[in-house]
């Protein structure tokens, strides 16, 4: 199939994992089996077995979750590439940005797995050394959530971490400050404030030590110029130069994920359809909140491929309509 110039690939991040993920891809694709074999070797654990069979509590560990989601996304990407389907632009949510870098030819699959292994280990260690928390604030405008965080500067570290979509902001920081921010957000009209089951304060200053360690791994990874633009989390801007992409990867752990702005930028630049590549449908749901009905398909297993083909042919999503 020829290049579809208006199609964007999106790659999910931590939280989209589930027991059984990737098994259908492994069964169907020699390329997927090769990627899982590399991952098992690099991670030093039976990542494929844990992904396919669990147990769930092991799959939820940051050091396992992150490479498991990356590898599932890369296996699904291989299915698209085998069909000759190429994106015009790519983006990934937090961890998913490393899958996007592979899709854009910036990193090899092995290099991405190696970097993400370091990233996951360092984030886990940072969470142990400096315990933190994250919480989703629902139904309060971004600027009001940011104001709450500013007002708590004297009480501890808490910052907006994920700007996911209209009325959906995740905050991150020290436990007491996050709990106080949750209370303040509800008092100011937020519909809900939900603490997230994560092992640290991701995308906050509490990840500084992890970010320093990750920078060395990124320098070793051999970033190349991108074949298509990568809309990076920290600025919501398209980047293609190797040095700029490496800098964005280094800044990501302590910077906010500007997902809503990233999606709006992709649409503004001409993306007319989206494919979420990897486990779950989180990003498809966020796109619907950000842009209303917009063509979007998901590719989680081989059985999703006809829906992607239909999207490219007719501009409809995997369920037969716009998402």
**DSSP-assigned states of every residue in 240-257:** -SHHHHHHHHHHHTTS-B
CATH code of 7-127+206-314, in short, is 3.40.366.10
- Which H helix or E strand runs over 275? strand 273-277
Count the Cβ atoms, other than its own, within 10 Å of residue 292: 9
Question: How is residue 296 written in tokens?
Answer: 């979007």
3-class DSSP state for residue 231? strand
Sign (positive or negative) of CA dihedral 167, 173, 179, 185: negative
pLDDT at 316: 60
Strand locations in 118-254, DSSP E?
132-138, 158-165, 168-174, 192-195, 230-231, 238-239
Indicate where the chain has its CATH 3.40.366.10 domain(s). 7-127+206-314
pLDDT at 317: 56
How far, in Å, are 110, 147, 211, 317 from residue 297 at the CA level? 27, 36, 33, 5
Could you state, in chain order, the average pLDDT of each consecutive group of 10 residues for the chain (323 residues)?
A: 69 95 96 97 96 96 96 97 94 98 98 98 94 97 97 95 97 97 98 92 96 96 98 98 98 97 97 96 96 92 94 65 38
Residues 6+ apart with CB under 8 A from 170: 134, 135, 136, 137, 160, 161, 162, 164, 196
* Angstrom distance (rounded) from CA 101 to CA 103: 5
The residues annotated with a catalytic role in the active site are 94, 203
Indicate where the chain has its CATH 3.30.70.250 domain(s). 132-199
According to CATH, the topology of domain 132-199 is Alpha-Beta Plaits (3.30.70)
Q: What is the DSSP letter of 257?
A: B
């Amino acid at each position: 199939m020829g290049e579809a110039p208006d199609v964007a690939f999106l790659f999910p991040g931590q939280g989209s994992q589930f027991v059984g993920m990737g098994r259908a891809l492994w069964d169907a694709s020699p390329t997927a089996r090769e990627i899982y074999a590399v991952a098992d070797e690099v991670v030093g654990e039976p990542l494929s077995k844990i992904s396919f069979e669990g147990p769930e509590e092991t799959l939820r560990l940051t050091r396992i979750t992150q490479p498991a989601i990356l590898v599932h996304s890369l296996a699904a990407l291989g299915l698209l590439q085998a069909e000759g389907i190429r994106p015009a632009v790519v983006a990934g949510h937090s961890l998913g940005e490393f899958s996007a870098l592979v899709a854009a030819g910036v990193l090899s699959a092995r290099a991405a797995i190696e970097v993400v292994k370091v990233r996951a280990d360092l984030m886990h260690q940072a969470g142990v050394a400096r315990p933190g928390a994250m919480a989703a604030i629902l139904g309060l405008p971004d600027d009001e959530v940011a104001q709450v965080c500013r007002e708590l500067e004297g009480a501890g570290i808490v910052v907006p971490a994920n700007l996911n979509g209209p009325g959906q902001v995740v905050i991150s920081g020290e436990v007491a400050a996050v709990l106080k921010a949750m209370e303040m957000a509800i008092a100011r009209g937020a519909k809900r404030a939900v603490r997230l089951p994560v092992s640290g304060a991701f995308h906050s200053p509490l990840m500084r030590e992890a970010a320093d360690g990750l920078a060395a791994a990124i320098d070793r990874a051999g970033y190349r110029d991108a074949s298509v633009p990568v809309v990076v989390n920290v600025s919501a801007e398209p980047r293609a130069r190797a040095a700029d992409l490496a800098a964005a990867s280094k800044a990501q752990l302590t910077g906010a994920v500007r997902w809503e702005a990233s999606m709006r930028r992709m649409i503004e630049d001409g993306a007319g359809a989206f494919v979420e590549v990897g486990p779950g449908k989180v990003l498809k749901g966020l796109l619907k909140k950000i842009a209303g009905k917009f063509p979007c398909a998901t590719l989680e297993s081989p059985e999703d491929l006809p829906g992607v083909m239909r999207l490219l042919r007719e501009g409809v999503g995997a369920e037969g309509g716009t998402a």
